[in-house]
Amino acid sequence: MDDWAVLDGLNHIKDQLDGSLSYRWSCRMGVCGSCGMTVNGEPRLTCGTFLAEFGEGPVRIEPLKGFPVIRDLVVDIDGFLAKLSSVRPWLVREGEELPLTAEYAQTPEQLEAYKQYSMCINCMLCYSACPVYVLDPDFLGPAAIALAQRYNLDSRDMDDRFDVLNQDEAVWGCTFVGECTRVCPKHVDPAEAIQRYKLTAALRSVLPWSKR
């Protein structure tokens, strides 16, 4: 057990002690984002959190905070998925006809502008850590705003998602505590994404002809 992850412990409980225990997991490699839970009060990926970190003390595992619980450790993610969809997470292009005859070429520098935001695995840890979202489930939230910035900063995209992001329940609802960035297992910085878009939105409000 010395090298067990928390997820290994859950699997042992389900296999040997209580087959009715319900929780989400898939890849066991910190890639799929499905095994996020609250471990001793902190939102963590259970596949990457090891029992050895907690010494001899008990480990308390709870569902992610801020989400409706379906059963045991399984939370309802429908609202989260709707928020992701609302930011138009695809390349928005104008004046093109399908099928396309050429690829969208990018330089390494253009890729670097948004690369970190593309590393998000939708584990929802940032939502569970966010004091705004826990109190106000209508808040668009860190991952969705970072996802919007992933496309806003993409040189191939022609949108700026101003209608979605320039809202009290979007970037202006953030109080900039920074917990979303602290808990991200992929080192995405959603707090930065939110503050950067606040500046973009403020400038666009003053200079409405200036987009992106």
45-76 pLDDT tens trace: 999 999 999 988 899 999 999 999 999 999 99
Extract the runs of DSSP E, i.e. beta strands, from 27-172: 36-39, 42-45, 61-62, 69-71, 74-75
pLDDT at 208: 63
Does residue 212 surpass a pLDDT of 60? no
The class that CATH gives domain 6-75 is: alpha beta
pLDDT at 100: 79
Domain assignments of the chain as residue spans, ordered by start: 6-75, 78-206
Domain 78-206 is found in CATH 1.10.1060.10: yes
pLDDT at 137: 96
Lowest mean pLDDT across 6-15, 98-107, 117-126, 185-194: 98-107
**What is the average pLDDT across 111-137?**
98
**pTM for this structure?**
0.93
pLDDT at 97: 80
**What is the average pLDDT across 194-200?**
96
In this predicted model, what pLDDT tens digit does every residue of 76-116 receive, in sequence order? 999 999 999 999 999 999 888 878 788 889 999 999 999 99
pLDDT at 145: 99
Does residue 211 surpass a pLDDT of 70? no
- Within 10 A of 192 (CB to CB), how many other CB atoms are there? 16
In this predicted model, what pLDDT tens digit does every residue of 134-183 receive, in sequence order? 999 999 999 999 999 999 999 999 999 999 999 999 999 999 999 999 99
pLDDT at 159: 93
Which residues sit opposite 44 in a β-bridge? 37
pLDDT at 99: 80
Ordered DSSP codes for 38-69: EETTEEEETTS-BGGGGTTS---EEPPTTS-E
